[in-house]
Chain A
């Protein structure tokens, strides 16, 4: 079974600075997807970024980028130029690439990010 581990329950960053959130996963598969979701206090989950395992290039979405290390099974999220609106709980998630896996995502425990003005 796949597992996703976020070892940092809480992180903080100063506004305009850069912060990196860690995520590691365990799988025996070679084909899979990795995600970062954000859940602000409003409770609504928001998909931040997605990475396909077969792609060597790290995904980037504006100020958000990932460092995908497939051999190390590591998938960290870097937030550049942090803004107050980035404050949220961030979840790392894994999905198998197998069709038979249905649509099941395995989520990490989450990292609560605080942005200090």
Chain B
């Protein structure tokens, strides 16, 4: 299996632009997580999907952030408009019937100028 696939690996954009991060979970996994990692705050859960349904989105910082999972093999995390404080590494993770992340992607390093 190819593992959890995230794209892009790096993203640099200017403040105010829309940013879309993508994730393909491991085939057969029905739980998907989006995490954000910064030096100041460490790892934070943004949102958790189970069977494509958002179960816990209490970690989504504000209305500028939105996440979707239209099917079992694809999820997006969108930031609109982006701000410099959104700069971080964003991880997607998946698991099979798990309530914790088992497999992480390589992350997307996002820099907002």
Contacts and interface: CB of A to CB of B under 8 A. Distances in A.
A95 interface: yes
Contacts of A35: 100
Interface stretch (B11-19, B21-29, B42-50, B68-76): B42-50
A103 B99 contact: yes
Contacts of B93: 45
B89 A43 contact: yes
A93 to B, nearest CB: 8
A91 B58 CA distance: 22
Nearest to B9: A43
A95 B43 CA distance: 14
A42 interface: yes
A109 B42 contact: yes
B106 interface: yes
Given A43-B89, A45-B93, A91-B43, A103 B106 contact: no
Interface of A: 33, 35, 42-47, 50, 91, 95, 102-105, 107, 109-110
Q: Closest 5 interchain pairs by CB?
A: A102-B56, A45-B104, A103-B48, A107-B43, A44-B106
